[in-house]
């Protein structure tokens, strides 16, 4: 097994881990929302599902970005691959940023200011 084969295995492992995190996080979030619905009603369940599902998506996206970086840096070292990685990272970063704002209700650089006001 040479270096490229090992790095392909590493990248695939990160990809599988990212997908598992997305799927498992979704299932756990929805299960938690069902429990929250029984305890506190629909509004509590919705907020719980939304918050936990968003966190699962953020974590899964971060792991998938790692897989893309490993692939581009170690396996497919072409300009086209680097540009493709750049585009993927920009899109996923935008998604992560949007989800973070949606979950927290404030842009990240204002989070500390908001917490000191409360």
Cα–chain center distance at 40: 28
Report pLDDT digits (tens) over 56-94.
988 998 899 899 888 888 887 788 888 888 898 888 888
Measured between alpha carbons, how far is 25 from 59 in angstroms, rounded to an integer? 9
pLDDT value for 17:
96
Q: What DSSP string describes 29-71?
A: HHHHHHHHHHHH-HHHHHHHHHHHHHHHHHHHHHHHHHHHHHI
Total domains in the chain come to 1
CB atoms within 10 A of CB 118: 4
Q: Can you tell me the mean pLDDT for 8-33?
A: 93
Measured between alpha carbons, how far is 73 from 82 in angstroms, rounded to an integer? 8
pLDDT at 16 over 90: yes
Measured between alpha carbons, how far is 77 from 82 in angstroms, rounded to an integer? 7
**Residue 14 confidence class, pLDDT cut points 50, 70, 90:** very high
Rg (CA), the chain: 18
Cβ-proximal residues to 63 (8 Å cutoff; 6+ apart), any chain:
14, 17, 18, 21
pLDDT value for 10:
93
Q: Where are the beta strands (DSSP E) in the chain?
A: none
Measured between alpha carbons, how far is 26 from 55 in angstroms, rounded to an integer? 10
What does pTM read for this prediction? 0.75
Structural domain of 113 = 3-117
């Amino acid at each position: 097994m040479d270096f490229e084969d090992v790095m392909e295995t590493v990248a695939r492992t990160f990809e599988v881990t990212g997908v598992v995190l997305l799927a498992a996080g979704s299932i756990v979030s929805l299960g938690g929302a069902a429990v929250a619905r029984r305890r506190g009603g629909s509004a509590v369940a919705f907020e719980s599902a939304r918050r936990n599902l968003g966190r699962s998506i953020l974590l899964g996206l971060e792991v998938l970005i790692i897989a893309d970086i490993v692939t581009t840096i170690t396996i497919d070292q072409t300009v086209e691959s680097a540009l493709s990685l750049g585009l993927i990272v920009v899109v996923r970063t935008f998604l992560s940023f949007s989800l973070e704002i949606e979950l927290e209700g404030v842009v990240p650089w204002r989070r500390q200011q908001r917490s000191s006001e409360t």
